[in-house]
Structure 1
């Protein structure tokens, strides 16, 4: 083993987050505690993304398995280190004094401590997405860190979905009102990613604008309603523009609760119902306290009902903006009855090929980067995908504001001509909701 290379010991949750993780440690060696394989065995069955990750990892491991895994290690590829499986190790006296239970986490720590003592000339690091386990490791003098591979490097990219310029050139503002647009080369601002939205203003006037990468023009964005829902601020106006722009196939909407992300996406979808074969509105199910749905009473519909209710609430708001027997409400009921409008848990549509679909994924901050990639790669011709969420309200215990799929998507896709991002900042649900969001 090269003296300067490091040793990384992986926790189970890293593999459940990214089944290709063992290939992301460059020329350093990777060790899998035997207890990790034991835990993965419990996750192989099921339809959730973590079950898929477990199965894929076990399949990959089977291809490179052998006796060398336990002694000499198996090379992971050119310019990469080796993969080892470490069997169980006894608890040190310090561990026995600190932890009374021989849980999987503590067994991993015992192996990590053993490896550290065996290879004193090398840096040994435990990699886990579990903050508690990382803290326990540090209490024992072990290096520990989060899995960093797919973390967002520049979180500010989410806040730049809209740029605001004060004291802006009056002539350019007039040109945006009096023409089809201003050519990119004639625009005062040179740093413009595709589909960037602007608020341009001075003491006398202001304009909402958008950079159209297909025409290389900065164009004025006009306020318009969708299916009876009126935008109440600039960010909502920009959101509806992106949601109804046929050239934009992928949209991410971020913002705190009450800013209207899901409502606007659903209203825009209904407005364009004739342009798509189906409208899908889905969200991941993240049970509270990490408890499985099985503990809830009733059949499958009873179990998922509470998780889907916020989506039905948004639909009710749209229905409420029209008369009870209005043409719009009759259309919504027909679409639901005919399967043209479907509200469902995200897990129920995994594996489908989505063609000519307007697909809204709510609470996308609870998805991993791999899950987001999996969803987007299912898109067929004519499909538009919308991801909405609040990166400050993450329910998954192993994700944070820099490692969730919504932030990852926005950073990686920024500047692509078919992608647009808007960060909504003003709550419009009520003054009470806005106050609570800001102060509590």
Structure 2
């Protein structure tokens, strides 16, 4: 068991779900010590051979721990092996990691007598708390019920794992725009304006919006001013004056925006200088339709890209896609019905809707691909539409984004209220991570579409159910 040292450093006991959520989580506790109960290793061993989507994370975590402990003696593993030098930077770990044989607790020390895995891990934390009164013992788990049980059993410190959470609550997630109360110009004390071609650019003090970032849209309550932050220079920022009416006048593939949110999204989608567009919002806000309309406009009408690649996560891929007949694209068709539905809407007034759809799919070279087969590819001069991205982890999104080569534009759409994964929440979703991490990247833009335009039925359901 860990050494009894009088220290200000804490002792963190990790639950299995922490290592499934982030396989290298034991490196995130800086100067504090980390304890891995034997029960956790047993659960990881069971999960690594399963067909669950977290099996890979279990294997990564096991391999990482083996790399650290492979030269340690049994005594070293129980007392703790130093984590110094494994990573660099201010957050590099300097504590120790140990393995605790929780199934060999002394008789009578168990608070829970049933042998469920959660109970064994809580028993281990309670024993360490009693045996090391001079140290703060903290159980870290993402299981809410387990946190309640541990506190009820007498464990003083129980925490969620929040190292990877960039926002504490989804309501603080960047929306991609800022709306000023009243008139925008009432907030501006001094301005320098210049004209570049047909564009008017205002240089204003950053005190107007201290936390402004590049490609953030600026609106006001009068519905007269609409602009976008072109650059932030420390004390000042350049704002491109787009004009509210001109922004609402955008058009792509016969589609015009129905509200200012869709207008901002359309501007970002049609801007060739923006390589990543992230669209968030409720069902029926127009994310998929706008993405497809803009993609068709840029591929077919403007010849700016060669093809459109449409992909999305496929839950339970092993069980659900394998039995479907046909090629990869034919297997993906049921998952990407939202795209074909949108394509049908875009051509519903044509004389032969089905003929038009088939022609456009061939003309625009629309390809349906599975996320599972994106690794290793290099996609050049294409538009990639990633639908339902709220179900992906940050590492899965990284795999897809790093596939995008020269001249490729990526459009990520998702609704954080419709997460299907058992292991993700709105604050831990890869989509949330993406919005916050790319907020200050000049080649990306985020737009939160907050109006449901699908139908009055859909709008009422979104508001009241």
What are the Cα deviations for residues 294-349 of structure 1, in whole angstroms up to 9, with x where unaligned?
3899447798665443344333333435442588524333158xxx3223442232
Contact preservation (8 Å) 2:215, 2:228:
yes
Counterpart residue number, 2:290: 264
1:245 equivalenced with 2:259 (yes/no) = no
Structure 2 match to 1:219: 241
Q: Supply the RMSD in Å over aligned alpha carbons.
A: 3.4
Deviation of 1:364 (Å): 2.1
In structure 2, the partner of 1:332 is: 360
Rounded Cα–Cα distance in structure 1 between residues aligned with 2:359 and 2:228:
32
> Offset of 1:427 from its aligned partner?
0.3
* Corresponding residue for residue 21 of structure 2: 17
- Size of the alignment, in residue pairs? 425
Secondary structure at 2:199 match in 1: coil
| Partners of 2:426 and 2:385 in 1: CA distance | 21
Checking the alignment, whether the CA contact within 8 Å between 1:293 and 1:303 is kept in structure 2 is no
Selected match of 1:196 from 186, 205, 216: 216
Q: What does residue range 69-88 of structure 1 map to in structure 2 within 5 Å? A: 70-77=77-84, 80-88=94-102
What is the aligned partner in structure 2 of residue 139 from structure 1?
Answer: 152
Please, which of 155, 158, 174 is the counterpart of residue 173 of structure 2?
158
The aligned counterpart of 2:382 is: 357
Q: CA 1:405–1:94 in 2, change beyond 3 Å: closer, same or farther?
A: same
> Whole-Å Cα distance in 1 between the matches of residues 45 and 347 of structure 2?
47
Which of the pair is proportionally richer in helix?
1
Distance 1:201 1:119, change over 3 A: closer
The offset of 1:251, in angstroms, is 1.7
Q: Identify the match of residue 255 of structure 1 among 257, 281, 298.
A: 281
The answer to whether the 8 Å contact 1:17/1:368 transfers is no
Higher alpha-carbon deviation: 365-374 or 429-438: 365-374
Aligned-pair distance for 1:153?
3.0
Q: 1:218 offset after TM fit, Å? A: 1.2
Q: Where does the alignment leave 5 or more consecutive residues of structure 2 unmatched?
A: 86-92
Q: Compute the displacement of 1:156 (Å).
A: 4.8
Question: 3-state SS of the aligned residue for 1:264?
Answer: helix
In structure 2, relative to structure 1, the CA distance for the partners of 1:187 and 1:38 (3 Å cut) is: closer
Contact 1:323 1:329 in 2 (8 A): no
Q: Which string of whole-angstrom CA distances, capped at 9 and with x for unpartnered residues, describes residues 123-146 of structure 1?
A: 222212222222222222223221
For residue 69 of structure 1, report the CA deviation from its aligned partner.
Answer: 5.1
Residue in 2 aligned with 1:400?
425
Question: Which whole-Å CA distance do the structure 1 matches of 2:269 and 2:208 have between them?
Answer: 25
Whether the 8 Å CA contact 2:397–2:430 is kept in 1: the answer is yes
Task: Tell me the TM-score normalised to structure 1 length.
Answer: 0.84
SS at match of 1:71: helix
Quote the offset at 1:406 in angstroms: 1.4
Kept in 2, the 8 Å contact 1:358–1:385? The answer is: yes
**Change over 3 Å in CA distance of 1:48–1:352 after alignment to 2:** farther
Q: Choose from 126, 148, 154 the match for 2:162.
A: 148
Query: Mapping of 1:249-398 within 5 angstroms?
Result: 249-273=275-299, 274-286=303-315, 294=319, 298-299=323-324, 307-320=335-348, 322-324=350-352, 329-334=357-362, 340-398=365-423
Q: Distance in 1 between matches of 2:281 and 2:461?
A: 15
SS at match of 1:373: helix
**Cα distance between partner residues in 2 of 1:303 and 1:32:** 41
Runs (5+) with no aligned partner, structure 1: none
Q: Give the Å deviation of 1:368.
A: 2.4
